[in-house]
Every structure is written in structure tokens, then in C-alpha cells.
Amino acid sequence: MGESKLLGPESVRGANEAIAWIRARRIASQDRQKSYGDPKRSYIEFSVGDYVFLIVSPMKGVRRFKKKRKLNPRFVGLFEILERIGQVAYRLALQPALFGVHNVFHASMLRKYVSDSSHVLSYETLSL
């Protein structure tokens, strides 16, 4: 049928050199991509007791939060942070209506609530 070649030490050495070259190029490429992405990345930290909004993706909003409208909100509720779990996860105090939703979320899914008294509207009573 055919002859089988035995691998000699020079072919094994050549393969190992090729693998080392590929690894070095891959690491250089990863480092270059990381240097491009790091300046754009921001690390968000919250403390216990802060109030946050929860970012909702369109499909998850329909399934979990019962939001099914044409102009769907991007954020849901105003929730208090109960505790920090690990470096980037937080446990939220959810409303009883959201009993089917897990209460631990990644920091990228949260948006900090900044209290501002200017957004509160005062109204005057009208006498008819």
C-alpha cells in the first residue's frame, strides 16, 4: 500500500519550533488587541445601599419582565443593592412581582441611579 515514515528527531524539533512560533504570534496578537480595548473599558463599582436600574435586553424583557411594547424601556425599576458577591456581581432587592428572576446580576447589567431633585416635578392644585 505504501510506506510509513517514522518521525525523526529533526521533524519533531521542527514541529516544536513551529508551535512555539505560533504561540508567540498568538500572544503578541492578544496583547495588541488588549491594548486597543483597555482604554475603552470602564470598571463600575457599587456599594451596598446604592440604588440601581437594571438593563433589560429586548427578548429577556418580553420573557422575564413582561415588557412587550413598541417603545420598550431599556431599564427596569429602581432596586437597592443588598450585598456584593465576588468582584463584579451584586445581589439586588427585587420586587415580589419578579419572583421568577434571579436576584444576582453582573455589574455590566446595572446602571447607577443618581438622585437629582431637579427631575422631581412639583404641581399646584387647580381649583375648578
pLDDT in tens, 63-89: 555 556 666 667 878 899 999 998 889
Residue 89 pLDDT:
93
Residue 95 pLDDT:
84
Element (H, E) at 100: none
User: 65: Cβ–Cβ under 8 A, 6 or more apart, which residues?
Assistant: 56, 76, 98, 101
| pLDDT range class, residue 101, cuts 50, 70, 90 | confident
Strand partners, 54: 76, 110
Residue 122 pLDDT:
60
Over 50: is that where the pLDDT of 120 sits?
yes
Domain boundaries of the chain, sorted by first residue: 12-40, 51-114
Over 60: is that where the pLDDT of 62 sits?
no
pLDDT in tens, 9-32: 888 888 999 999 999 999 999 999
Chain-wide mean pLDDT for the chain? Answer: 81
Over 50: is that where the pLDDT of 90 sits?
yes
Task: Tell me whether strands 89-93 and 104-106 are parallel, antiparallel or unpaired.
Answer: antiparallel
